[in-house]
Structure 1
């Protein structure tokens, strides 16, 4: 049974409606043209018989045939299987007819037709008479017969109902065959078109339950085939997103559990007096560091959500980028000192840019943290500012372990852990995703170049203020 709301039923019923309507229109036009053609043939038959009868009447007059002889000769022309011809006078009384033995009979013609014919018109008219469909053509003859100055020739085509019935039966027979054939073809075509859609519907239910093991087959390159490919691609992306979400939850749980466990241990030790008084400041400092670590993780998560959902707006202004970078490097001195890293800033000018100062600071801080985290001890980090047409190019380069080339396109993804591609260090995998989102809001790209064992270079541009 066809479900009315299904795409299959809509396709099948729509196509069926179009085909049936088209066939009915075809039948109507065909029937109308048949009607006109049939009447044209009747007119041609009348003209042909008119000429023949005129010649015979001329012979009747010139050769002075007797009426019985003329009636006998005319009867072969006047009596035909599909029509009869009558020659009548002004009173509709028969002079000659199909039966030579019947004369002076009244011909049943409407007075309206007689008046038009006597007025010199040729009348052609079809219609029902006594339940019989017939077609009448009548006009005056040029000859005179037996003192009748205006003889009238009338041809009556009878049994038209049989002609139309035959055509109707042929049309209906063809119509039924065409409908059955078209219905079968439409059924299979609609099934074939909607099969991928039904498959996508079933697989979508599996996706909703978290099962991404199946994919939609796309045997064609049409719109449905492209939709199937997009559907499969979406499933792949959702599967990756789900895996990253689980990984993110696992990472965040680990990142929060470790400092919380440490803080809890320190608090218990402080409460029971295990930690000497002279060392409490040291452990307070450790607790402070662990707390800041948790706060940063939470802030990064919230920040990433705001950026992706479009709730974050830029507050652009003109400011000194060179001075900003110097201040950030100064703030990072403790981190550089821990690894004995050398940080070199190269800038040939004081660059004034038009950007969101707080957001750009967040970008530079994340990139420097990334460089510090993956640099080796006693290594170097280069920060370079150079003019690039109407922009300033910011480049941050470390000489650490580098990133595998196959991971370069994935490092910007949310939940992707950069350290899995570079080292085994911990991290929630949000820093570079935040950087990418902020620079996207600034309508500028960030490039990365990296080689394993040689280090990584991150670079981006910002628009310069005119005359800076």
Structure 2
């Protein structure tokens, strides 16, 4: 249970921020403690340093005989009164030789041994401690020690001054630092806990929603409670779910359409086969109905091929072998292949291509895929243009692009049909296109092929006035062909 709790994202955020704040507050407390300690002891340190100098000046006079030991003792007592403390002259054996206290002739307290040794080594310095040098002394002592010479022998000078007032002031300051910091830390901890919950809450909801999605429940959504990055993440998650719903609907619709498209020819085939097997159809009519069966088989084959083609393109498995392609020649060849179909339906073809002496229009395209695009669009134009109508095919270059326009004078499309022509299995109304033999996948494949060759396709149409498709491909940088 504890491991799970520690693995929680918001607990990790909370603990990380809390540890950072604790370290910051501890550092801040140590800094202020050091600052105020130096500030409060500054005046006393300056006073002790100056008095140490005065004592040091008296010692050579004793050696020279200018002043007596009694006068030295008197002078040191005056100095000790000026600092409201005590002054010791300690020889190399730790004995107080002369001073302002009752310790003359006695050994210094053991708590001062470390300072005494440092003084004999020639070092000097200050130390503030809670040491008590006698039974009546109150806690809190500031000591300055330093080396000196007296009668040619090394001694250590101690200047001790009570620092009770400073200690009490420092204790008060420390409390005034620690208590607000503790309250601040508590407040920051509460804020961090709430903030971490606020940050991790949407993530936990997303996790639950993701599990529900994995279980097939597409109604799961994450509440958007803010406009910051977390809110944006929640919006993105909800948008992803909406897209999944659309894709699932499209998948179901696709399966329904495929089932319908497959069932129709299969039902026809099975019915005809049963009828011939049961001798319902006379033998002399077998040839006619076998042709119908062959037509339905070809229809199934076209549907399967189109499905496989579309799947390869959408899954990125289709490889486009792009190379510089002269569009003038390619379009002319495609039109030659379809002239017979146009003539059979008495459709007039208008070719608006650059003449032979004009510049060549070259684009980087896959020849086979480009031929598939043209063939699909031209077959649609033939299929939906009544006899006596016209089909216009135009090629020109504009703004660094090759532009191909295929326009017919056929039945055209209404606006609601125009918005759906790229959908899979969509076909125009059968009452207006009774001769339709398509699978409803042609224009879907065309759009994917054009996009795969870095081109664009646009369509405009008006009911009863024909349809116009406009293809645009970037011109090839290599114009030498």
Write out per-residue CA displacement over residues 328-369 of structure 1, whole angstroms, 9 at most, x where no aligned residue.
445556865787654433322465654222111221223234
- Aligned partners of 2:141 and 2:163 also within 8 Å: yes
2:243 corresponds in structure 1 to 237
User: Which residue in 2 is equivalent to 1:95?
Assistant: 98
Is 1:386 the counterpart of 2:396 in the alignment? yes
Aligned ranges 1:273-312 → 2 under 5 Å: 273-277=279-283, 279-312=285-318
Name which of 152, 156, 160 aligns with 2:160: 156
* Counterpart position of 1:437: 448
Per-residue CA deviations over 1:245-287 (Å, capped at 9, x if unaligned) read 1111111111111111112222233334444455443333322
Deviation at 1:388, TM superposition (A): 3.5
**Any gaps of 5 or more consecutive residues in structure 1?**
none
Q: Deviations over 1:307-341 (max 9, x none)?
A: 12221112334555445445544555686578765
**Cα shift readout 1:183-227 (whole Å, capped 9, x = no counterpart):** 211111111112222222233233334443454343434332222
Q: Retained in 1: the 8 A contact 2:51–2:79?
A: no
Matched-pair contact (CA < 8 Å) for 2:58–2:72: no
1:77 correspondence with 2:87: no
- 1:359 aligns with 369
What are the superposed Cα offsets for residues 70-107 of structure 1, whole Å, 9 maximum, x if unpaired?
7876564343xxxx32142646425342x5x6655443
Query: 2:302–2:439: 8 Å Cα contact kept in structure 1?
Result: no
- Per the alignment, in what secondary structure is the counterpart of residue 218 of structure 1? coil
Matched, 1:186 2:187: no
The verdict on how the C-alpha distance between 1:353 and 1:175 changes in structure 2, with shifts beyond 3 A counting, is closer
Give me the whole-angstrom Cα distance separating, in 2, the residues matched to 1:338 and 1:446: 29
Alignment length (residue pairs):
452
Question: Equivalents in 2 of 1:46, 1:298: separation in Å?
Answer: 104
Partner-residue secondary structure (3-state), 1:393: strand
- Pair 1:466 & 2:479 matched: yes
1:222 matched to 2:220? The reply is no
Aligned-partner Cα distance in 1 for 2:208–2:117: 79
1:131-210 map, 5 Å: 135-139=142-146, 153-156=157-160, 172-210=178-216
SS in 2 for 1:20: helix
In 2, Cα distance between equivalents of 1:423 and 1:76: 123
State how 1:257-336 maps to structure 2 within 5 Å: 257-277=263-283, 279-317=285-323, 321-329=327-335, 332=338
Q: Distance in 1 between matches of 2:415 and 2:91?
A: 113
Match of 2:63 in 1: none
Consecutive unaligned residues of structure 2, counting only runs of 5 or more, are 60-65, 134-138
1:125 touches 1:136 (CA, 8 Å); kept in 2? yes
Q: How far apart in 1 are the matches of 2:188 and 2:433?
A: 66
Distance, in Å, in 1 between the alignment partners of 2:171 and 2:5 is 39
Q: Does the aligned pair in 2 maintain the 1:252–1:428 contact within 8 Å?
A: no
TM-score by length of 1: 0.76
Deviation of 1:428 after TM superposition, in Å, equals 6.0
Provide closer, same or farther for how the CA distance between residues 6 and 115 of structure 1 changes in structure 2, counting only shifts above 3 A.
closer
Normalised to the residue count of structure 2, the TM-score between the two structures is: 0.74
- Cα distance in 2 for residues equivalent to 1:278 and 1:305: 43
Contact 2:209 2:220 in 1 (8 A): yes
**Structure 1 133/283 Cα, relative in aligned 2: closer, same or farther at 3 Å?**
farther
Are positions 1:417 and 2:426 aligned together?
yes
Alignment root-mean-square deviation, CA: 4.6
Deviations 1:294-317 (A, max 9, x none): 212211211122112221112334
Question: Which deviates the most, 6-15 or 187-196?
Answer: 6-15
Q: Is the 8 A contact 1:405 1:450 kept in 2?
A: no
1:4 aligned counterpart, secondary structure: helix
Q: Distance in 1 between matches of 2:197 and 2:32?
A: 33
Q: Please give the per-residue CA displacement for 1:123-161, whole angstroms capped at 9, x wherever unaligned.
A: 43567868988653134799x9xx999997522356789
Indicate the SS of the match to 1:382.
strand
Change (3 A) 1:6 1:230: same
| Counterpart in the other structure of 2:136 | none
Please tell me whether residue 26 in structure 1 is matched to residue 31 in structure 2.
no
- For the residue of structure 2 that corresponds to 1:136, the secondary structure is strand
Please state whether the residue corresponding to 2:454 is helix, strand or coil.
coil
Distance 1:332 1:176 in 2: 89
SS of match in other structure, 1:3: helix
Q: Which residue of 2 aligns with 1:457?
A: 468
